Amino acid sequence: QQPVQSPQAVILREGEDAVINCSSSKALYSVHWYRQKHGEAPIFLMILLKGGEQKGHDKISASFNEKKQQSSLYLTASQLSYSGTYFCGYELISNFGNEKLTFGTGTRLTIIP
């Protein structure tokens, strides 16, 4: 079952902030975030492990609340280059007792000048 992302789409002016949320009904091992430009492969942004940690990468950061099984991606002072579709990926426990990576439905972010 896919993680659920919200919002599905958002349009921002350059310099504005955005938050993308991701939730799952299953117990999680970790959360990954990816960005995909149109027609290209998804590119890794960051990974968050259990423990409620928060990570940052330039002006993009994320948090992981394992109790609520939710993660949020924060984009601060957005730049034109941030445009794309963002996916969260949840590592779940597979039939083999190992992790499998399942992705959310995606959030399309459009930054306008």
Partner 1 sequence: EAQVTQNPRYLITVTGKKLTVTCSQNMNHEYMSWYRQDPGLGLRQIYYSMNVEVTDKGDVPEGYKVSRKEKRNFPLILESPSPNQTSLYFCASGIGQDYTFGSGTRLTVV
Contacts with partner 1 by CB under 8 A lie at 1-2, 5, 8, 30, 32, 39-44, 46-47, 87, 89, 94-96, 98-106
CB 35 within 8 A of CB 85: yes
Instruction: Quickly list H helices, the chain.
Output: none
Closest contact distance (angstroms) between CB of 100 and partner 1 is 6
What are the two backbone dihedrals, phi and then psi, of residue 81, each rounded to the nearest 5 degrees? -70, -10
Tokens of 93: 């426990």
Closest contact distance (angstroms) between CB of 19 and partner 1 is 18
Closest contact distance (angstroms) between CB of 98 and partner 1 is 6
Sign, CA torsion 8/9/14/17: negative
Residues in the chain: 113
Which of 16, 46 has the CB closer to partner 1? Answer: 46
Strands 54-57 and 107-112: unpaired
Closest contact distance (angstroms) between CB of 34 and partner 1 is 8
Which of 41, 113 has the CB closer to partner 1? Answer: 41
Which of 1, 113 has the CB closer to partner 1? Answer: 1
